[in-house]
């Protein structure tokens, strides 16, 4: 080889080595094994390159990178599928917003296309995160003000200011939920203490609307009242139990006195019987041994005298202990009667408390806890009897707008009127409860798919025809309903989830409608 050629060859080799060294740094960080081998390769290629050792290193790297490729592919698939899941969840939340839903669908379509390299996943991921942020901003804002921001038209400044408002909106949302909670608490508490002036004052001010500081102050006042009442209640309960304990103790004493008395009486009677027996034995002996009639007469007379005295004494002692026993029994009876009265009133109080804990204070309907208990019983019966069982969820449409337009009290009133309307449709063992907020749940034993649909449709129609009036304005309330019948493989949760899915389908389809298994099969 010519000198010139050799020089050029060496120069190219050096360039190639530098290139490999630089390229190898790019792949650093995928795994410790690859990193180690890359370091070795760089060592072989730097300074005076050793190509034979570098070739060994390159072969080892080939194998390691092949494995890496497999795990990268797996990682990509997992990442894409979790982005897909997140997008689907997002679609559920933003189903009302055409534009956002469209964007989410487009992203889902892109996710289903093959991923060419790992870096394109990051682009998909970034877009998914961005869409979530837009939807979340809108969702929070929608909750508070009901207005909407169009994601595509929102400028970056708008987006920035939306982010800046985040904390403010968060706290507004926080105060709103405190307001609702406090309102429910005060409503149920005023039922219990209808003449409490402090409570009535808070209720009135809540209806008129409260500043945030007042809201927190009122929370503290109500909390203090509850703690005070709970303490009084506990001390009353303690007193009742103490009273029962004392009464039981006294009864115990009476019983042991009566037992002691009976024992003494029994002993005395045994002694007198023995005495009587001795006298009778004496008479018997006298009859058999005495020849003289006079002597017998005298002896018998004296024995009969003693006998008569013993009998009179026994009789007197009997009647004395009988009187004592009767008086003891009557005092015991009095104590037992008193005890009975105390326990009866205590039982009534406890039953009332249990009832309260299962009743929704605003609508007086059974609450979620009561429903869950009832459902567990009904489901067990369904499994053993194989008679049909259906459940349904009812949600008032655009209920938030009633609160926003006419105030929270009007919202409360609506909930009460709507509950009454639902209740009119319940017969026999059919069960209605307030699930929470503006959502209700119905349990319909012995009701198949057809009957369920008829019932729900009747409720829907009834509500639609009912006219309410707030601030001189006529308001029509509509409801969306989702209902399903249990199948043999259903759990309590799976049937509930299906009913919930149908309810959201009814909302999505435009509200004021019923969706049941029958509609889903169409």
**Residues interacting with ligand GTP, by CB under 6 A?**
180, 184, 362, 395-400, 403, 408, 411-412, 415, 437-438, 507, 511
Closer CB to ligand GTP, 124 or 503, in the complex = 503
Q: How far is the CB of 435 from ligand GTP (least distance, A)?
A: 11
170 phi and psi angles, rounded to 5 deg: -60, -45
Closer CB to ligand GTP, 144 or 216, in the complex = 144
Q: How far is the CB of 508 from ligand GTP (least distance, A)?
A: 10
Closer CB to ligand GTP, 188 or 446, in the complex = 188
Q: How far is the CB of 478 from ligand GTP (least distance, A)?
A: 9
Q: How far is the CB of 88 from ligand GTP (least distance, A)?
A: 19
Q: How many CB atoms lie within 10 A of CB 128?
A: 21
Instruction: Please give, one letter per residue, the 3-state secondary structure of 279-317.
Output: HHHHHHHHHHHCCCHHHHHHHHHHHHHHHHHHHHHHHHH
Q: How far is the CB of 81 from ligand GTP (least distance, A)?
A: 30
Closer CB to ligand GTP, 396 or 441, in the complex = 396
442 phi and psi angles, rounded to 5 deg: -125, 140
Closer CB to ligand GTP, 44 or 460, in the complex = 460
Q: How many CB atoms lie within 10 A of CB 423?
A: 13
Closer CB to ligand GTP, 184 or 258, in the complex = 184
Closer CB to ligand GTP, 44 or 203, in the complex = 203
Instruction: Please give, one letter per residue, the 3-state secondary structure of 427-484.
Output: CCCCEEEEEECCEEEEEEECCCHHHHHHHHHHHHHHHHHCEEEECCEEEECCEEEEEE
Q: How far is the CB of 346 from ligand GTP (least distance, A)?
A: 33
Closer CB to ligand GTP, 303 or 396, in the complex = 396
Residue whose Cβ sits closest to ligand GTP: 411
Q: How far is the CB of 199 from ligand GTP (least distance, A)?
A: 17
The set of residues, in sequence order, having a beta carbon less than 8 Å from that of 338 and lying 6+ positions away, is: 247
Residues in the chain: 522
Helices within 362-425 (DSSP H only): 368-385, 399-406, 408-423
Distance between CA atoms of 377 and 426, rounded to whole angstroms? 18
Distance between CA atoms of 394 and 438, rounded to whole angstroms? 8
Q: How far is the CB of 408 from ligand GTP (least distance, A)?
A: 4
- Cα distances (Å, whole numbers) of residue 356 to 127, 166, 350, 397: 50, 39, 10, 28
Closer CB to ligand GTP, 125 or 406, in the complex = 406
Closer CB to ligand GTP, 409 or 446, in the complex = 409
Q: How far is the CB of 367 from ligand GTP (least distance, A)?
A: 12
159 phi and psi angles, rounded to 5 deg: -65, -40
Closer CB to ligand GTP, 188 or 342, in the complex = 188
Q: How far is the CB of 191 from ligand GTP (least distance, A)?
A: 14
The set of residues, in sequence order, having a beta carbon less than 8 Å from that of 395 and lying 6+ positions away, is: 438, 439, 440, 479, 480, 481, 503, 507
Q: How many CB atoms lie within 10 A of CB 216?
A: 14
325 contacts 261 by C-beta, under 8 angstroms: yes
- Cα distances (Å, whole numbers) of residue 326 to 60, 249, 336, 472: 107, 20, 15, 75
Closer CB to ligand GTP, 180 or 421, in the complex = 180
Q: How far is the CB of 419 from ligand GTP (least distance, A)?
A: 11
Distance between CA atoms of 59 and 13, rounded to whole angstroms? 19
Distance between CA atoms of 478 and 480, rounded to whole angstroms? 7
91 contacts 106 by C-beta, under 8 angstroms: no
Handedness of CA 202, 208, 210, 214 (dihedral sign): negative
495 contacts 478 by C-beta, under 8 angstroms: no
Q: How far is the CB of 340 from ligand GTP (least distance, A)?
A: 42
């Amino acid at each position: 080889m010519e000198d010139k050629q050799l020089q050029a060859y060496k120069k190219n080799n050096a360039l190639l080595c530098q290139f490999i060294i630089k390229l190898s740094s790019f792949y650093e960080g995928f795994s410790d094994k690859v990193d180690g081998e890359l370091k070795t390769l760089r060592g072989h290629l730097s300074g005076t390159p050793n190509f034979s050792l570098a070739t060994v290193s390159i072969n080892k790297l080939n194998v390691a990178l092949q494995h890496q490729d497999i795990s990268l592919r797996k990682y990509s698939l997992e990442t894409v599928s979790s982005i897909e899941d997140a997008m689907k969840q997002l679609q559920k939340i933003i189903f009302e917003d055409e534009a956002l839903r469209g964007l989410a669908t487009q992203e889902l379509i892109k996710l289903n296309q093959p991923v060419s390299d790992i870096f394109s996943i990051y682009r998909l991921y970034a877009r998914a995160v961005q869409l979530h942020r837009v939807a979340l901003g809108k969702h929070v804002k929608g909750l508070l003000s009901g207005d909407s921001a169009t994601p595509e038209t929102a400028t970056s400044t708008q987006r920035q200011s939306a982010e800046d408002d985040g904390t403010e909106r968060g706290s507004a949302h926080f105060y709103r939920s405190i307001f609702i909670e406090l309102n429910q608490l005060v409503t149920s508490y005023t039922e219990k203490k209808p003449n409490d002036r402090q409570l009535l004052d808070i209720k009135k001010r809540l209806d008129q609307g409260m500043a945030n500081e007042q809201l927190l102050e009122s929370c503290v006042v109500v909390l203090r009242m509850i703690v005070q009442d709970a303490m009084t209640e506990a001390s009353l309960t303690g007193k009742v139990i103490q009273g029962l304990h004392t009464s039981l103790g006294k009864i115990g004493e009476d019983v042991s006195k009566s037992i002691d008395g009976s024992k003494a009486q029994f002993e005395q009677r045994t002694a007198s019987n023995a005495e009587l027996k001795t006298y009778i034995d004496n008479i018997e002996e006298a009859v058999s041994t005495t020849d003289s009639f006079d002597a017998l007469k005298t002896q018998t007379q004296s024995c009969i005298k003693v006998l008569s005295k013993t009998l009179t004494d026994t009789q007197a002692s009997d009647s004395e202990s009988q009187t004592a026993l009767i008086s003891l029994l009557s005092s015991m009876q009095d104590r037992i009667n008193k005890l009975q009265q105390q326990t009866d009133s205590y039982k009534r109080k406890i039953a009332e408390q249990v009832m309260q804990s299962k009743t929704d204070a605003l609508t007086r309907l059974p609450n979620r806890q009561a429903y869950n208990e009832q459902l567990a019983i009904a489901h067990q019966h369904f499994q053993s009897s194989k008679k049909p069982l259906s459940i349904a969820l009812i949600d008032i449409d655009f209920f938030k707008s009633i609160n926003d337009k006419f105030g929270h009290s009007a919202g409360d009133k609506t909930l009460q009127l709507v509950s009454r309307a639902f209740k009119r449709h319940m017969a026999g063992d059919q069960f209605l409860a307030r699930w929470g907020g503006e959502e209700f749940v119905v349990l319909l034993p012995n009701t198949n798919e057809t009957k369920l649909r008829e019932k729900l449709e009747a409720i829907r129609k009834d509500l639609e025809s009912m006219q309410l009036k707030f601030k001189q304005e006529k308001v029509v309330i509509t409801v969306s309903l989702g209902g399903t019948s249990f199948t043999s493989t259903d759990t309590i949760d799976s049937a509930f989830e299906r009913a919930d899915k149908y309810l959201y389908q009814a909302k999505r389809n435009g509200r004021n409608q019923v969706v049941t298994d029958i509609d889903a099969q169409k």
